[in-house]
Amino acid sequence: MLIRAVCRRWPVHLLSLVGGLLSAHCLADQRPIPTQLEFEVLQTASHDKLSFTQGWEISKAHIFESSGGYGRSFIRKSSYPDNKKILEKRLPAHWFAEGLTVQNDKLFLLSWRQQRGLVLNTKDLQPLAQFKYRGEGWGLCSFGDNIFMSNGSNDLQQFNARFELSRTIAVHSPDQQHWKNLNELECAKGLVWANIWQENRIIAISPETGEVLYQLDLSQLAQENQHPEAVLNGIAYDKEQDAFWVTGKLWPKRHLIRLKMPQTQAAHNAD
């Protein structure tokens, strides 16, 4: 208690005079936690309550969704924003569909434990190629030629357009808390947004450092879903509206939300 009281009352330049131990305690005590973002709900619409949503992304007036489960996985292409089904491709029984992302009119789709993914044509959902990776595949999103993947741990893996591993990024808070169970991803506003599996929380991660800058509590949207597997999972960014569609596995509804971002971040996004 004495150390904490000194930390709060003494300026940093004086702390450096009393030795490394006290200074270290004070600096640790002053580490910030990720900022809790507020949001407003702009719209609520229907969502397929039978879809075990794993990946969700808006691209060129379409929304692409992957639904998981052995023997019942599929990829769906729908019109946006009304979410009317255009195409649906069922996957083989041994394939458990996971996250997806769209890059240059190609859709990259992960599997859970097969350690391989599919590249599909966004026009007709026909397969073009396969790619390999190590470990499990959970979420996927992309900035330009860079693709980010989660695997349920506290790491993000970054790949190039040929799905060759570039680096592994440890995701952590400014207070050095590690965030495990990273699930569905969305790359937007210069950040990687991640669902936390089995939580009503989304976090925003710096793709450069892995630091968690913001967190978002969506408990008020999830209260209506009582199924044990009906967890929050699905983030799709609408750039024109500067808003996110969020949904979950087996959710009957989707919600368009606009975040109240700090001015410094809003200015960064406008650059």
What pTM, to 2 d.p., does this model score? 0.86
Quick one: pLDDT at residue 269? 55
- Token pair belonging to 220: 């008020």
Residue 59 has pLDDT above 60, yes or no: yes
46 shares a domain with 17: no
41 shares a domain with 1: no
Quick one: pLDDT at residue 32? 63
105 shares a domain with 18: no
Q: How confident is the prediction for the chain on average, in pLDDT?
A: 87
* CATH number of the domain that residue 76 is part of: 2.120.10.30
Q: What mean pLDDT is predicted for residues 67-85?
A: 97
Quick one: pLDDT at residue 5? 38
143 shares a domain with 238: yes
Model confidence over 240-256: pLDDT tens digits? 999 999 999 999 999 99
Quick one: pLDDT at residue 122? 97
25 shares a domain with 40: no
Q: What mean pLDDT is predicted for residues 107-116?
A: 97
- Token pair belonging to 223: 């209260």
223 shares a domain with 253: yes
CA distance 53 to 74: 10
Domain that holds residue 140: 31-270
How many folded domains does the chain comprise? 2
133 shares a domain with 25: no
- Band of the pLDDT at 227, cuts 50, 70, 90? confident
- Band of the pLDDT at 264, cuts 50, 70, 90? low
51 shares a domain with 112: yes
For the beta carbon of residue 61, count every other beta carbon within 10 angstroms. 8
Residue 26 has pLDDT above 50, yes or no: no
Using DSSP bridges, classify how beta strands 127-132 and 140-143 pair: parallel, antiparallel or unpaired. Answer: unpaired
Residue of 35, 43, 52 whose CA lies nearest to 80: 43
User: Do the Cβ atoms of 141 and 109 come closer than 8 Å?
Assistant: no
Quick one: pLDDT at residue 98? 98
The number of residues making up the chain comes to 271
CB-count exposure of residue 13 (10 Å: 0-12, 13-18, 19+): exposed
138 shares a domain with 42: yes
- For residues 232 and 173, the model is more confident at 232
Quick one: pLDDT at residue 245? 98
78 shares a domain with 21: no
User: Do the Cβ atoms of 83 and 72 come closer than 8 Å?
Assistant: no
Q: Which amino acid is at 94?
A: H
223 shares a domain with 190: yes
What does residue 88 show for φ and ψ, rounded to 5 degrees?
-145, 130
User: Do the Cβ atoms of 63 and 57 come closer than 8 Å?
Assistant: yes
From 30-39, 99-108, 235-244, the region with the lowest mean pLDDT: 30-39
97 shares a domain with 214: yes
